[in-house]
Amino acid sequence: MTVLLTRSYGRCVGLFLLVAWAAGCDARAPTSGESAPPSVLVDVPEVGRTYPDGTPRIVALGDSLTAGLGVGPGESYPARLQEKLEMAGYEFEVVNAGVSGDTSAGGLRRLDWSLDGEIAVLIVALGGNDGLRGLPVEELRSNLGAIITTAQDRGVEVLLAGMEAPPNFGQAYTDAFRSTFDQLAKEHDVLFVPFLLEGVAGVPELNQPDQIHPNARGAEQIADHLWPAVEAMARRVGARPSQ
């Protein structure tokens, strides 16, 4: 599986926390004369799978960022991905399996029912609450690894979205937290988007007053950010655009 390499521009640790703002986080956009490094997506070969029992599903397994806390039911990023798939002619049902407050351990506990049915793709977007609570990185790695392995054993393709930890637990923790996602992506050979909140975290107009949860515009930006990878996965599982 090819890895999606998205280089962050102007990112600093813990962008999505108020404490990061207090620490002087600079989540700036490129200024005149500067350009953000491009994303690189190498074509992902199809696996030619069919789903005779119904419409294949793309499940977004995550926390409040996925659930769409504070936005309308049709404004979460999974809902926006559903719209994009339909507009592109892909026949998938996007299932929002986001639960507010969930950690990687919580996601692992409810994985079985999240994978019930004709699941084609699992988007794994967990870890934010692990970082907020300063939970051991080893537990994060173990939980996410188990989620990925279980999905792959069932023939489900996985898209892993990385997260950031806040700076108040120290540089060693934030570095280990970030590198865990990259290591898992390489170890399990899955498609990887390094930061779910790229372009949204630390941008006041894209977040709710708590500056943690994206607003409707922020959720749409997340969907735009994930779309190249999601479309690549749609092609990979053999669900070609309908004519």
Compute how many other C-beta atoms are within 10 angstroms of the C-beta atom of residue 127.
30
Q: Is 210 a catalytic residue?
A: yes
Distance CA 134, CA 128 (A): 10
Provide the pLDDT for residue 60. Answer: 98
Pick the catalytic residue: 64, 76, 104, 114?
Answer: 64
pLDDT per position as a tens digit, 26-41: 333 333 333 333 333 3
Residue type present at position 70: G
CB 199 within 8 A of CB 225: yes
Largest CA distance in the chain: 53
CB 92 within 8 A of CB 127: no
Provide the pLDDT for residue 92. Answer: 94
Which residue has tokens 């079985």?
112
CB 41 within 8 A of CB 229: yes
Provide the pLDDT for residue 73. Answer: 84
What residues of the chain score a pLDDT lower than 70? Answer: 1-53, 238-243
Q: Is 225 a catalytic residue?
A: no
| CATH number attached to the domain at 18-22+40-45+53-236 | 3.40.50.1110
Pick the catalytic residue: 26, 112, 175, 210?
Answer: 210
Pick the catalytic residue: 76, 104, 213, 225?
Answer: 213
For the chain, give every domain's residue range.
Answer: 18-22+40-45+53-236
Tokens read off for 57: 């599903």
Distance CA 219, CA 81 (A): 10
pLDDT per position as a tens digit, 191-219: 999 999 999 999 999 999 999 999 999 99
Residues comprising the chain, all counted = 243
Compute how many other C-beta atoms are within 10 angstroms of the C-beta atom of residue 95.
19
Provide the pLDDT for residue 37. Answer: 31
Provide the pLDDT for residue 48. Answer: 47
Q: Is 213 a catalytic residue?
A: yes
